[in-house]
Structure 1
Amino acid sequence: MIAARIRWPSRLFSRSARPGPPPERSPGDRQDRPTPPEGWRRWLWPLIVVVAAAVFLLLLLVPGREGPSLSYSDFLRRVDDDKVKSVTINDRGGVQGTYRDGGHFTSQIPTALDTSRLNARLQDHDVKITGSQQRAGGGVGNTLLALLFVFLPVLILIGFFLWAGRRAAGSLGGGLSSIGRSRAKIIEAERPTTRFPDVAGYEGVKQEVSEIVDFLRRPERYAAAGAKGPRGVIMVGPPGTGKTLLARAVAGEAQVPFLSVTGSAFVEMFVGVGASRVRDLFQEAAKRAPSIVFIDEIDALGARRAGGHPGGNDEREQTLNQLLAEMDGFDPRSGIVVLAATNRPEALDPALLRPGRFDRQVTVPLPNQKERAAILRVHARDKNVADDVDWEVVARATPGFSGADLANLVNEAAINAVRADRATVDAHDLDAARDRVLLGRRDSSNALLPEERRSVAVHESGHALAAAVCEHADPVAKVTILPAGPSLGITEQLPESERHLYSESYLTDLLTVRLAGRAAELVVFGEGSTGAANDLAGATQIATRMVREFGLSSELGPIGYADGTPQYLGGHGLDEMLRRPYSEATQRAMDEEVARLVREAEHRAVELLRGHRAALDRLADLLVARETVDGAVVLDILREHGPGGPGEHPDRSGGDGG
């Protein structure tokens, strides 16, 4: 791919919001569950087992009452010397004896010898003789050895199971008996420190949820009028827009206990565990009423039940059924409000969204330009920012950014300042951070060949000139041929204002600008290149939506096949193809119309650049020499080398030839 063009994302064609850092948590947050045992307690039972084994071995090795073992000859010699007081002889010839001075010894009578005279010999020397049924060598040491071999494996197994149970108790927050308990984080009334002023922008959303605060603070006002407060509020929107932060702000403003849990915490492999946790969650909330229950990523718990497929997922469906029953069953006067957040409202079960359960659905959209400026100021509070930073300009340059994206942008700018051995974040750092977030790291080692530099310069010059000439296109902010991420060149356009509606003229100009890079290659080199692959994909996507969703096709007329459900996590994919509501003939007509729109846009771009060939060559030469130019330079070149000669302003009428 020789050159790729990346435009600033617009509200209409922006990609899904990128994941950013999670909302900042209050330092006082804690999880209200039993403290896990200290580290030394985990090793208590294994240590007991080791000590017991060591004691057994020590008793085995230390000589006991048996005393030293004597040979049969030494035994007879000591009998003859009148040193032996008594002996105990078992049926196997084993001898345990006692000396007259109090010592002990052991010996063995050889069974192969004639020992018939041994009895008389012992009696002659007044040795007391006792018989025994024990085996030879069956003393205390051997007894302990036998006990050791029998009981040590049992003790090891018992110790292992006790140790594993302790570990499981720590991971389950209370052992097997508490596996069905809720894993909610409980933050008491004095804990939440987040307030509505800490949530920059979103005044409309805050007004929606402020009634929850009023209901929890003064429920008697609603009771006097016979009104019931909101039972459940679900917040939907793209990732990173601050849904969790808004829920914490509601709890902070209401000064009530706040029970926070994620939808995945209810999903377990054991049937019935999730339902038990739902019951326990609402019991905990009832104990602390008035209170707020916040379920983040509720789509993990409340996804549509599989109709016609009983038993497909018993555990998840039982958990959802229990949640539905709890939201129907608790007393609205008890002051329990359920807040939930999701990025996939289309995946939720309809029974969950009906009035009486979730009474309100609050959309938390991507912030507009004014809100982005306010969010940037919040995230820059703890940064050392230079005086030349204009947050309004930065907000204008970041359409489609979520709150998490903006926090990441400010942090990347601070990192860029540290990388340059500075402690102050300036406008250049923010600009570099924006490029890093959108385009990736700029690799200076990714050097282009001379002919490639020329091709990229021509390609980006085509984009820039078409954007400057087309009347409804966004103004050009910067043009560069420095590679960044997968792109070898970039033309940046900044919208003059926040757009909410897009006219057909704007979309037509947008297609023209998209294809102007390929058109410039056709005008200058007479052939296209792989550098236009990204542009062609983007133009095809825009033309497809114009035909299929916006009714801007003269062939198909005012027909729209949009799903109507917001897709905050991307496109429809295979599911859309399986249930598309039009025939193959309509699909063929759509394909033909999309191809026509793209061809007409390319033809218009080619004619426009042929009429501004001098400006195209001049801008390409300047890019080869400087590598980066701003939008003012593009306008100056058009004034100097326009179709009418020097001094003429660029034609923004959108005509074919300019």
Structure 2
Amino acid sequence: MSRTARSGPPPTPAPPSKPESPKWARGGWLLTAVMLLTLAAIVAPAFWTSPAPSVSYTEFLSKVDAGQVESVTIDDEGAVDGVQRGGATFTSRVPTALDPGQLESKLREKNVKITATKASGSLLSGLLGYLPFLLFFGFLVWAGMRAQKAAGGMGGLGAGGFGRAKAKIIEAQRPTTRFSDIAGYEGVKQEIGEIIGFLRDPARYAAAGAKGPRGVVMVGPPGTGKTLFARAVAGEASVPFLSITGSAFVEMFVGVGASRVRDLFEEARTRAPSIIFIDEIDAVGGRRGTGGGLGGHDEREQTLNQLLAEMDGFDQSSGVVVLAATNRPETLDAALLRPGRFDRQVTVPLPNQAERAAILATHIDGKHLDPDVDLDVVARGTPGFSGADLANLVNEAAINAVRDDRTVLTAADLAAARDRVLLGRRDSSNALLPEERHSVAVHESGHALVAALCEHADPVAKVTILPAGMALGATEQLPEAERHLYRESYLADLLTVRLGGRAAELVVFGEASTGAANDLAGATALAAKMVTEFGMSPSLGPVGYGSADGHDARPELLGRPYSEETQRAVDEEIARLVRAAEDRATTLLHRHRRALDSLAGQLQERETIDGDVVAAVLRDELIPVDEQAG
């Protein structure tokens, strides 16, 4: 989904205010200046004092014999600091291997004043010894200031800045998104539209004795526009909008997430009426007791507990509403979804065909379209596409037009973009060997013919043997209408079409190839759902054992919810369904072998054909398609 372009000049933004210098910056610069001045006061005298000249031990003895030395200071390591009779100083060193008694007698003989002292390192060398600790302390101070700045920190050099919420606050320019900017989803708009009335006029609800919703959680697949709906609610209600993701609450430090939750709700109360939007709430609102070995002391659980307390504790008259979005509602904690916290759960599904056409119209706004483009046809060919997928489709079509030095988008551009999104980029350098090309043509012809011969299968739109992504060829089918329920007859035909390519290889070559690996995986998964979820197995009966994605229909059961004997029966039923589908496809293709050879030949020659060619090939046979359908 997307926003449409709004007419009229854009609003004049308010002049940006000069940010105030944070306290941590002022305190940090002051501490740094004090440290530098102290270090300079200690180290500078060592550089300002000129060092005394050093003389050898022989020269030192000569000065003593000449009576030029007045006093000496000798430490326990043999270092000598001497003063001559004119006041001049010098340094020397007594070899420790010599007899110190001889030097002492000579100094006494010349009336030299002797002072003994203990050796100690210089001040500068001492500071150098502490330099690693000083650098480590300075790094901690620097890291603390940077972390507080990133967290919007306040108040000194401590860790208090980590507890500030990282919410993006949109208040100076309120969200300009409106419900009119969202194509389709009229039911969703109506369901969450009551939040707007509560924020605009809460007294109206109080007069009738009704309480406005505390929270609404929007559930739906990725890309369906849950965040866009939250911004539209804030735009319609003209209130501040505080947006944050669930992962922004969780840090490595215990208690930080709970502190951020408190700060977020306090910020919302000061700006009330306001909306708090928590995207991907499953990152912080998952079921407690399932996050590992830390149990109730887990940081995520503390954050969730604080969120539960805030939602249950804030005054409803304060005008704060919490919106949340997730695509995994089954992982949320039950206490989070109870009435009084998230009162409503609004499902934002994938758009239907009419909604896809409306969404496409918003995305092509401002682009040049060829008259041959029919958005209803494009919407029909994109079942299961979300709003984000449709935006990507239009963008890929525009890129395809630019490659051909055009500014007008054609139906071929949109078709190529659809193939790119579903199959991947076509690689012209991925040339097939002649026998591989023939095998792929036979395989795809089998899919197309079986789809055309099965009564409940979707019509064939296009067949190609051009490699794209991991696929060496493709058979595209477009549903005639948007389906929400699938009968057993439709699923049986779908299984048969899936195995039509492998059946064609068996009919023509007498053996299968590795090209059917993806078809077999899809057919097996579909047969497993028919047996374990849909109750379409006569031997097992109408029993649902859980979905294939790991979410059991009975969540109280851990692991596999059935015995080894039942597993054996499930495997036998899956194999029976797949074998029956392959036998049916093989029988159909044996009966229409001439059409199979003809279609494979046309595919090798033209590389891509549409569904009309498949129907024409069948009409050329002895048994027309109309009589088979009857």
TM-score over 0.5 for the pair: yes
Q: Does 1:247 align with 2:247?
A: no
Separation in structure 2 between the aligned mates of residue 468 and residue 153 of structure 1, nearest angstrom: 79
Deviation for aligned residue 1:391: 2.1
> Which residue does 2:166 correspond to in 1?
183
Q: Alignment partner for residue 621 of structure 1, among 588, 598, 601?
A: 601
2:88 match: secondary structure: strand
Q: Does 1:451 align with 2:435?
A: yes
Q: Alignment partner for residue 347 of structure 1, among 331, 335, 351?
A: 331
- Between the two proteins, the alignment pairs up a number of residues equal to 600
Q: Tell me, yes or no, if the aligned pair for 2:83 and 2:90 is still in contact at 8 Å.
A: yes
RCO higher in structure (CA 8 A, sep ≥6) = 1
2:284 match: secondary structure: helix
Q: Tell me, yes or no, if the aligned pair for 2:223 and 2:387 is still in contact at 8 Å.
A: yes
- The letter of the residue matching 1:476 is V
2:629 match: secondary structure: coil
Separation in structure 2 between the aligned mates of residue 615 and residue 183 of structure 1, nearest angstrom: 65
Q: Does 1:162 align with 2:141?
A: yes
Q: 1:548 to 1:136 in 2, by over 3 A?
A: closer
Q: Alignment partner for residue 275 of structure 1, among 246, 258, 261?
A: 258
Q: Tell me, yes or no, if the aligned pair for 1:69 and 1:106 is still in contact at 8 Å.
A: no
Separation in structure 2 between the aligned mates of residue 554 and residue 154 of structure 1, nearest angstrom: 77
TM-score (norm 2): 0.83
Separation in structure 2 between the aligned mates of residue 107 and residue 546 of structure 1, nearest angstrom: 101
Q: Alignment partner for residue 179 of structure 2, among 196, 220, 224?
A: 196
Q: Tell me, yes or no, if the aligned pair for 1:518 and 1:528 is still in contact at 8 Å.
A: yes
Q: Alignment partner for residue 403 of structure 1, among 376, 387, 391?
A: 387
Separation in structure 2 between the aligned mates of residue 34 and residue 295 of structure 1, nearest angstrom: 28
> Which residue does 1:494 correspond to in 2?
478
Q: Tell me, yes or no, if the aligned pair for 1:34 and 1:173 is still in contact at 8 Å.
A: no
- The letter of the residue matching 1:653 is A
Q: Deviations over 1:196-248 (max 9, x none)?
A: 12222211111111110111011121111111011111111111111111111
> Which residue does 2:616 correspond to in 1?
636
> Which residue does 1:236 correspond to in 2?
219
> Which residue does 2:575 correspond to in 1?
595
TM-score (norm 1): 0.79
Deviation for aligned residue 1:650: 4.9
Separation in structure 1 between the aligned mates of residue 24 and residue 249 of structure 2, nearest angstrom: 28
- The letter of the residue matching 1:213 is I
68-77 vs 219-228, greater mean Cα deviation: 68-77
Separation in structure 1 between the aligned mates of residue 199 and residue 403 of structure 2, nearest angstrom: 49
Q: 1:589 to 1:147 in 2, by over 3 A?
A: closer
Q: Does 1:378 align with 2:362?
A: yes
Q: Tell me, yes or no, if the aligned pair for 1:46 and 1:163 is still in contact at 8 Å.
A: no
Q: 1:346 to 1:159 in 2, by over 3 A?
A: closer
> Which residue does 2:314 correspond to in 1?
330
Q: Tell me, yes or no, if the aligned pair for 1:94 and 1:136 is still in contact at 8 Å.
A: no
Deviation for aligned residue 1:295: 1.4
> Which residue does 1:506 correspond to in 2?
490
> Which residue does 2:586 correspond to in 1?
606
Q: Deviations over 1:424-454 (max 9, x none)?
A: 4332222222212111222222222211111
Q: Alignment partner for residue 273 of structure 2, among 259, 265, 290?
A: 290
Separation in structure 1 between the aligned mates of residue 354 and residue 21 of structure 2, nearest angstrom: 45
Q: 1:542 to 1:157 in 2, by over 3 A?
A: closer
Deviation for aligned residue 1:623: 0.7
1:179 match: secondary structure: helix
> Which residue does 2:71 correspond to in 1?
89
Q: Deviations over 1:557-581 (max 9, x none)?
A: 4x141648xx9xx554999894555
Within-5 A mapping of 1:49-128:
59-61=45-47, 64=50, 89-92=71-74, 94-96=81-83, 105-107=88-90, 111=103, 114=106
Q: Tell me, yes or no, if the aligned pair for 1:69 and 1:105 is still in contact at 8 Å.
A: no
Identical aligned pairs, as a percentage?
A: 63
Q: Tell me, yes or no, if the aligned pair for 2:545 and 2:553 is still in contact at 8 Å.
A: no
1:302 match: secondary structure: coil
Q: Does 1:549 align with 2:540?
A: no
Deviation for aligned residue 1:368: 0.8
Q: 1:155 to 1:551 in 2, by over 3 A?
A: closer
Separation in structure 2 between the aligned mates of residue 608 and residue 266 of structure 1, nearest angstrom: 59
> Which residue does 1:653 correspond to in 2?
629
Q: Tell me, yes or no, if the aligned pair for 2:151 and 2:165 is still in contact at 8 Å.
A: no
182-191 vs 620-629, greater mean Cα deviation: 182-191
254-263 vs 156-165, greater mean Cα deviation: 156-165
Q: 1:146 to 1:634 in 2, by over 3 A?
A: closer
Deviation for aligned residue 1:114: 4.4
Deviation for aligned residue 1:554: 3.8
- The letter of the residue matching 2:430 is N
Separation in structure 2 between the aligned mates of residue 529 and residue 200 of structure 1, nearest angstrom: 46
- The letter of the residue matching 1:243 is K
Deviation for aligned residue 1:77: 13
Separation in structure 2 between the aligned mates of residue 197 and residue 21 of structure 1, nearest angstrom: 11
1:629 match: secondary structure: strand
Separation in structure 2 between the aligned mates of residue 572 and residue 414 of structure 1, nearest angstrom: 40
Separation in structure 2 between the aligned mates of residue 639 and residue 312 of structure 1, nearest angstrom: 68
Q: 1:369 to 1:426 in 2, by over 3 A?
A: same
Q: 1:61 to 1:395 in 2, by over 3 A?
A: same
Q: 1:309 to 1:114 in 2, by over 3 A?
A: closer
Q: Tell me, yes or no, if the aligned pair for 2:2 and 2:362 is still in contact at 8 Å.
A: no
Q: Tell me, yes or no, if the aligned pair for 1:466 and 1:513 is still in contact at 8 Å.
A: yes
> Which residue does 1:312 correspond to in 2?
295
- The letter of the residue matching 1:207 is Q
Separation in structure 2 between the aligned mates of residue 117 and residue 21 of structure 1, nearest angstrom: 104
Separation in structure 2 between the aligned mates of residue 326 and residue 237 of structure 1, nearest angstrom: 25
Q: Deviations over 1:588-627 (max 9, x none)?
A: 4443333333223222222222222211111101111111
Q: Tell me, yes or no, if the aligned pair for 2:463 and 2:609 is still in contact at 8 Å.
A: yes
Deviation for aligned residue 1:345: 1.1
Q: Deviations over 1:381-415 (max 9, x none)?
A: 35454443322222111111111222222222233
Q: 1:88 to 1:338 in 2, by over 3 A?
A: farther
- The letter of the residue matching 2:286 is A
Separation in structure 1 between the aligned mates of residue 257 and residue 291 of structure 2, nearest angstrom: 22
